[in-house]
Amino acid sequence: MPVITNIEDLRVLAKKRVPRMFYDYADSGSWTESTYRANEADFNRILFRQRVAVNMEGRSTRTKMLGQDVAMPVAIAPTGLTGMQHADGEILAARAAKKFGIPFTLSTMSICSIEDIAAATDRHPFWFQLYVMRDRGFIERLIDRAKAANCSALVVTLDLQILGQRHKDLKNGLSAPPKLTIPNILNMMTKPRWCLGMLGTRRHNFGNIFGHVEGIENMGSLSEWTAKQFDPALSWADVEWIKKRWGGKLILKGIQDLEDAELAVNSGADAVIVSNHGGRQLDGAPSSISALPAIVDAVGSRIEVHMDGGIRSGQHVLKAVALGAKGTYIGRAMLYGLGAMGEAGVDAALAIIHKELDLSMAFCGRTDIAKVDKGILLPGSWEHLGARQ
């Protein structure tokens, strides 16, 4: 086993162990992938101010997200098909998040169901991400199931009314479970760990949908239903309806524009996530970190502002917090750990990010994450990020 010291080590190992179509699903963007690359690259343009001869004892990364105590300002992002990166992947990631003391967010398009997560974590509170479908009856049932499972926040994704063109997914013929074509079979034969894991679980389909929609009896009918269900007519009126139906903490994911941020505040949401869907929707959109400061300045005093996209280290988390984010989300970094080593890999990813966050904060002369601000960043290294897009 190689020595794992950073998220890149986990990515390299995951690429060796996860079938091509599912690794590519996690590690790719839409069209030219320019926004996907910018998400991480723009973080790396921001520079820290190193401070010395500062008392670094008694450091704490503990804070709150949506009023919930967290070990660091990081949550696990909702990622579709997580259970195809590793058998029972969503369950393993939820367990890791519970142990570490951060929120886990389950995707509508997960392999393990809402009920699976609740049972595996002894009904420990988790967050649920909702895609708005045309079938409003199904959405009502999903919301009710999330309530029954003790979900403490609902994350509504607003930037996937239609699907961005993702060339690798199209070329690989992405499906869950994978279609048994000759190329897929040959590729899976080189991933024995993955295959053994999948043979040992019954969870191979979209657990939140299969068995919960009338007329879906096999993967063909499920795929046909799913392809037709994302609602291009989604509106702010739907957000208000969801908030009323849910009745609890509501987070809106996919905000990049100042006008949309204002509309999110007016909708009564509790938090927004500055996000471009990991560069998987509108290619050519700004990186999340470059969009963050203006949104924080505009609405951060009225609503909690979070962000996702491009976070591969604790230093990236620290930079986002310095620019005003009250919380961050990791998707790919978690998936790399999961694909590499299952639950132990997610544990490793969280530990790596936390250590990098803690040490970098100390080098910048701060000992409390709640007191981190733009003062830890080198002036001139971040102010014009948005103009570089």
Of residues 154, 165, 136, 166, the one with CA closest to residue 229? 136
Q: Is 147 annotated as ligand-binding?
A: no
* Active site annotation includes 204: no
pLDDT digits (tens, 9 = 90+) for 61-104: 999 999 999 999 999 999 999 999 999 999 999 999 999 999 99
* Chain mean pLDDT for the chain: 94
DSSP letters spanning 275-344: --GGGTSSTTPPPHHHHHHHHHHHHTTTSEEEEESS--SHHHHHHHHHTT-SEEEESHHHHHHHHHHTHH
Q: What is the pTM of this model?
A: 0.95
Residues 292 and 305 sit within 8 Å (Cβ to Cβ): yes
Q: Is 336 annotated as ligand-binding?
A: no
Active-site residue (options: 277, 306, 316, 354): 277
Q: Which of 151-160, 203-212, 217-226, 357-366 has the lowest mean pLDDT?
A: 217-226
Would you list the domain boundaries of the chain? 7-388
CATH number of 7-388: 3.20.20.70
Q: Is 80 annotated as ligand-binding?
A: yes
pLDDT digits (tens, 9 = 90+) for 245-257: 999 999 999 999 9
Q: Is 284 annotated as ligand-binding?
A: no
Confidence (pLDDT) at 228:
84
Task: Tell whether the model's pLDDT for residue 388 goes beyond 50.
Answer: no
Q: What percent of the chain has pLDDT over 70?
A: 97
Q: Is 166 annotated as ligand-binding?
A: yes
Confidence (pLDDT) at 221:
63
Q: Is 235 annotated as ligand-binding?
A: no
- Which structure tokens are listed for 292? 């963050």
Residue 222's pLDDT band (boundaries 50, 70, 90)?
A: low
Residue 53, by phi and psi: left (phi above 0), alpha (psi -120 to 50) or beta?
Answer: left
Q: Is 312 annotated as ligand-binding?
A: yes
Confidence (pLDDT) at 389:
39
